[in-house]
Structure 1
Amino acid sequence: MENLLTWSLPGSPCRQELESISPSLPCSTQNALAPLPEVNLVKWKDLFMGVGQTFDDAIVFRKALYKYSLAHRFGYIFVRNSPKKMIVKCNIDGCKWKISTYALGKTTSILGNVEKTSNEIRQDLYKEYGLNLTYRQALRGKDRALEEIHGLPQQSYMLIPWLCEKLKETDPYTVAKWVSSTNYRFDRLFIAYGCCIKGFLQGARSILFIDGSHLNGPYKGTLLAASAIDANNDLFPLAYAIVGGETYDNWAWFLENVREITHQVQLTIVSDRHNAIVGAVRAIFDGNRHAFCYRHVKENYSSEFTKINRGMRRIDGMTKEDALKLLDNIAYARLETEFHVTMGHLMVFSPQLARWLETNGDINRWALARFPYKRWDNITSNHAESFNAWLVKERKHHICALINEHRAKLARKLYNSKIEIANWSNGVGPRVEAKLRENVLRAEVMVAEHYSVNMILVKGNVYSYVEECYTIRVQEKIYSSTVISVETIDMPQLIGLHYEDYEKNTFLEPPLTTRPPGRPPTKRRES
């Protein structure tokens, strides 16, 4: 006999199906010689009633099973007891009584799970209510739920001017700018919160990671971001902009605003080799301190190796893994002499690949030994990619929801980072501590090949040699300010606007966009 039951585990709510209860009572009940007292037991005899029965969680189910066994005077054992499946049987050999459950999935509703795909919503509604919706019905329901939560997408742009003024009014150090085209149609938006600007100028290192990512909301667009790193090498968001696309004009406008808020600090910029970024950095920051992401170079290098060796027989010691290891040695070589040695190894390995790297690889922009400016061993733009992943869900919403959700998420991040400082030991963060210990262990097995009488033995506390930018004092400066909440009591009501409302406020129209053909992509394409 089939039975349904719903139960939840801490941190992982899920539904379970009671596969069977057979026979109706276990052998120990049928063989009982004398009845137990009926006090407090009568109501326990019918705790398992049949199809559709539900329990709040696993603990309630186990208590019900225990009471049921007392009422019917039988013992039981768990054949299987896991989050995915539970099987219980009578403890008497030969008794066929057994009850089993298995996980069906998480309890859901459209309003509570708007981040789910339409197919996931269809499956959940079918399992929970037996509703068999089409894909478009589930999509329309999801869109309706998003409108109830965030409002109409086309109306969100109307609040941009008011929101920018409110941000600057709340925190005078905040920079919030918007640009419109003709007829007050939205074009660009730039936001940098005062707490981020002050934190960067007071303690963060003078290196920024920039990148762009696509917005998946109704009006598309691109999110440009500039991120720094704190004393523990964690992401520290500085500024972002919402524009129509990754063009030279948009990047130049964004970087010009970044230069203004950083007060002409000599910045090292790390990015991929997007033509618009390269041109804009050269125009705004003269391009000398522009470092390229090594990971993107490595991907191109790997593709070039495949082209060169296409159709050739594989030889031991000449594989792609060997080629990539040689490139890593070139990238992380710290001394010029070490760099030339590793380049020589690549020339012996594959002259064609070495010549390609010299002519197309922009070695001076990513190799540690060749880049003349300080970059604190950051040879990739992973921190920029981390920012994109940090807002992967928010980038699906309309512009006002994105701004508000980013601000709330930033406030939580700054607060948590400030609280975590209390857990730092030896005056440095956990990541720096781990790296320091790794270097100390490596130093224990190092051998001095060229010993001389001029060698100096360094003694003392190893933490006293840590650079100031990694210390707890700098971290406290970076997170000395927090995001100030914005009051929305006087926010314009967009329903039933009158002529006087347009005289008091500036309302923007959404941008003119053309949706590309096909289904919207769910994964970001790396440049």
Structure 2
Amino acid sequence: MTPNHTCSIEVLNHDHSYGKAWRARETAFALAKGTLEESYVVLHAYCEALKIENPRTVFEIELEESKYFKYVFMVLGASLRGFKSCRPVIIIDGTHLKGKYKGTIIVGVAIDGNNQLYPLAYAIVDSENDRALKWFMTNLKAAIGECPNLVFISDRGQSIANVIDIVFLNSYHELCTFHLKRNVENYFKDKVVRKLFHDAYRAYRESEFKRHWVQIVNYKNGSLATYLEDASIQWWARCYQFGNRYDNMTSNISKCFNAITKEVRVLPATSLLEYIRGMLQGWSHERRTMWSNSTSTHLVYAEEIMSLECEKARRCRVNPIDYYRFHVKDGGIDGIALTLENVVTSNCSVWRFRVRMLLLQLERAILIHLLYAADCIVM
């Protein structure tokens, strides 16, 4: 039988000291989630249980002097299998823990085919220093192996740049343009530089970028240009990027994950990792249920893009050249006329992502033109 707990008004109105209230809070927290010390003790057992229940899970623990906790790294087996179907882009970011022993949780987040958040790897470390980041990236590479054309996106931290060059030799590193834009604005104390930088990094073509770069060079005797050159233009400018970042110009998606875990970052290490595991399990179930009941052959994200491009295609002017080539004019592309043949055979790296969108739009425009012509012939 459950005891009937009662509390008088006199007890509630009693003026308790802050220290007593804090100790009561800590006791209640320990009873519900366990103590921080106990969490580190059961971490090894949790690791083995996770590997048994989730095949191919990678769980590594680093100790100092063979007895003191230092780092922990986790990638779920299901996440590894799903990553093969994601875009080869990993966004790295870290955020502070709120518990007694502080620390930092580093996350590696990918994006799935439906343009949704896909958390991949996590590590609890002391801080975002060279040693901790190298340990994280080394374990990440051991988990995912060699990925062709892999791109990492992060803020402008020298530590992460150095580690990527050492561990992932065949990958590319790009900067989060949102962080760089904010740094530029704070450094120059002028909102004008925000638009100058925004127009430059979003340019698809070198000719367009150079027009904006002239304005940047003329700003305060070239001080802004020097600042941006120090950040390596190929790391932030879309038209000069080495790898294909699939239009992911910022690390905002990793910030979304950090926001989701904001309230639980006070939990002990084991409880925090278990919360993340449970959250991913729930997401996987929801997405699996949604797609199993879907009647469409395309993802929601793809359907939205195709619908938008079809609307744009209706505004294009299509002039046949012969049976296989068409001259498509779209005023939205600076009045430049493109042929379908040129778009298909183009090897220009500047258009690596944009060409896909243009091709989809041009194909729809040509299809609409042919269908209209067929209707006219029938009539």
TM over 0.5: yes
Is the counterpart of residue 166 in structure 1 residue 49 in structure 2?
Answer: yes
> CA 1:382–1:453 in structure 2 vs 1: closer, same or farther (change >3 Å)?
closer
**Could you tell me which residue of structure 1 aligns to residue 136 of structure 2?**
254
Is the counterpart of residue 178 in structure 1 residue 61 in structure 2?
Answer: yes
The amino acid that maps onto 1:185 is Y
**5+ long unaligned stretches in structure 2:** 1-8, 317-329, 343-360, 368-379
The amino acid that maps onto 1:380 is T
The amino acid that maps onto 1:257 is N
Deviation at 1:136, TM superposition (A): 3.4
**Could you tell me which residue of structure 2 aligns to residue 8 of structure 1?**
none
2:257 to 387, 404, 407: 387
**Could you tell me which residue of structure 2 aligns to residue 401 of structure 1?**
271
The answer to whether the Cα contact below 8 Å between 2:216 and 2:225 also exists between their aligned partners in 1 is no
Q: Distance in 2 between matches of 1:233 and 1:271?
A: 18
Deviation at 1:462, TM superposition (A): 10
Deviation at 1:361, TM superposition (A): 3.2
Deviation at 1:360, TM superposition (A): 2.5
> CA 1:459–1:168 in structure 2 vs 1: closer, same or farther (change >3 Å)?
closer
> CA 1:182–1:295 in structure 2 vs 1: closer, same or farther (change >3 Å)?
same
Superposition map of 1:250-289 within 5 A: 250-266=132-148, 267-286=150-169, 289=172
Normalised by the length of structure 2, the TM-score is: 0.77
| Cα displacement string for residues 164-217 of structure 1 (whole angstroms, at most 9, x for unaligned residues) | 11111222311111121225111211111100000002x111110111111111
Normalised by the length of structure 1, the TM-score is: 0.56
- SS for the counterpart of 1:245 is coil
Q: Distance in 2 between matches of 1:454 and 1:234?
A: 31
Deviation at 1:439, TM superposition (A): 4.6
Deviation at 1:301, TM superposition (A): 1.1
The answer to whether the Cα contact below 8 Å between 1:168 and 1:175 also exists between their aligned partners in 2 is yes
> CA 1:290–1:161 in structure 2 vs 1: closer, same or farther (change >3 Å)?
same
Aligned length: 324
**5+ long unaligned stretches in structure 1:** 1-125, 310-319, 464-527
1:414 to 279, 284, 298: 284
| Cα displacement string for residues 2-33 of structure 1 (whole angstroms, at most 9, x for unaligned residues) | xxxxxxxxxxxxxxxxxxxxxxxxxxxxxxxx
> CA 1:354–1:442 in structure 2 vs 1: closer, same or farther (change >3 Å)?
farther
Deviation at 1:431, TM superposition (A): 4.0
1:343 to 195, 213, 217: 213
Q: Distance in 1 between matches of 2:290 and 2:12?
A: 44
Q: Distance in 2 between matches of 1:455 and 1:165?
A: 56
Q: Distance in 2 between matches of 1:430 and 1:131?
A: 57
Q: Distance in 1 between matches of 2:281 and 2:14?
A: 40
Is the counterpart of residue 364 in structure 1 residue 261 in structure 2?
Answer: no
The amino acid that maps onto 1:373 is G
Deviation at 1:424, TM superposition (A): 5.6
Q: Distance in 1 between matches of 2:275 and 2:42?
A: 15
Deviation at 1:455, TM superposition (A): 7.7
Deviation at 1:438, TM superposition (A): 4.2
| Cα displacement string for residues 351-393 of structure 1 (whole angstroms, at most 9, x for unaligned residues) | 4344234433322101110112111001111122122112112
Deviation at 1:395, TM superposition (A): 1.1
Which structure carries more relative contact order (alpha carbon 8 Å, separation 6+)?
1
**Could you tell me which residue of structure 1 aligns to residue 106 of structure 2?**
224
Q: Distance in 2 between matches of 1:264 and 1:287?
A: 8
1:207 to 89, 100, 122: 89
- SS for the counterpart of 1:379 is coil
Is the counterpart of residue 332 in structure 1 residue 214 in structure 2?
Answer: no
Is the counterpart of residue 294 in structure 1 residue 177 in structure 2?
Answer: yes
| Cα displacement string for residues 450-471 of structure 1 (whole angstroms, at most 9, x for unaligned residues) | 44788889444999xxxxxxxx
- SS for the counterpart of 1:394 is coil
The answer to whether the Cα contact below 8 Å between 1:394 and 1:406 also exists between their aligned partners in 2 is no
Q: Distance in 2 between matches of 1:401 and 1:206?
A: 30
**Could you tell me which residue of structure 2 aligns to residue 83 of structure 1?**
none
**Could you tell me which residue of structure 1 aligns to residue 356 of structure 2?**
none
The amino acid that maps onto 1:252 is K
> CA 1:254–1:440 in structure 2 vs 1: closer, same or farther (change >3 Å)?
same
**Could you tell me which residue of structure 2 aligns to residue 157 of structure 1?**
40
Deviation at 1:428, TM superposition (A): 3.7
The answer to whether the Cα contact below 8 Å between 2:153 and 2:250 also exists between their aligned partners in 1 is yes
- SS for the counterpart of 1:323 is helix
> CA 1:458–1:297 in structure 2 vs 1: closer, same or farther (change >3 Å)?
closer
Q: Distance in 2 between matches of 1:413 and 1:177?
A: 24
Q: Distance in 1 between matches of 2:311 and 2:126?
A: 50
Q: Distance in 2 between matches of 1:215 and 1:300?
A: 24
> CA 1:451–1:226 in structure 2 vs 1: closer, same or farther (change >3 Å)?
closer
The amino acid that maps onto 2:102 is K
**Could you tell me which residue of structure 1 aligns to residue 187 of structure 2?**
304
Deviation at 1:281, TM superposition (A): 0.9
> CA 1:349–1:394 in structure 2 vs 1: closer, same or farther (change >3 Å)?
same
Deviation at 1:430, TM superposition (A): 3.6
Q: Distance in 2 between matches of 1:424 and 1:232?
A: 13
The answer to whether the Cα contact below 8 Å between 1:343 and 1:354 also exists between their aligned partners in 2 is no
**Could you tell me which residue of structure 2 aligns to residue 192 of structure 1?**
75
| Cα displacement string for residues 298-325 of structure 1 (whole angstroms, at most 9, x for unaligned residues) | 011112331xx6xxxxxxxxxx2x4322
Superposition map of 1:44-193 within 5 A: 129-130=12-13, 132-193=15-76
> CA 1:287–1:294 in structure 2 vs 1: closer, same or farther (change >3 Å)?
farther
Percent of aligned pairs with the same amino acid: 26
Off by >6 Å, runs of 4+ in structure 1 = 452-457
> CA 1:451–1:380 in structure 2 vs 1: closer, same or farther (change >3 Å)?
closer
- SS for the counterpart of 2:186 is helix
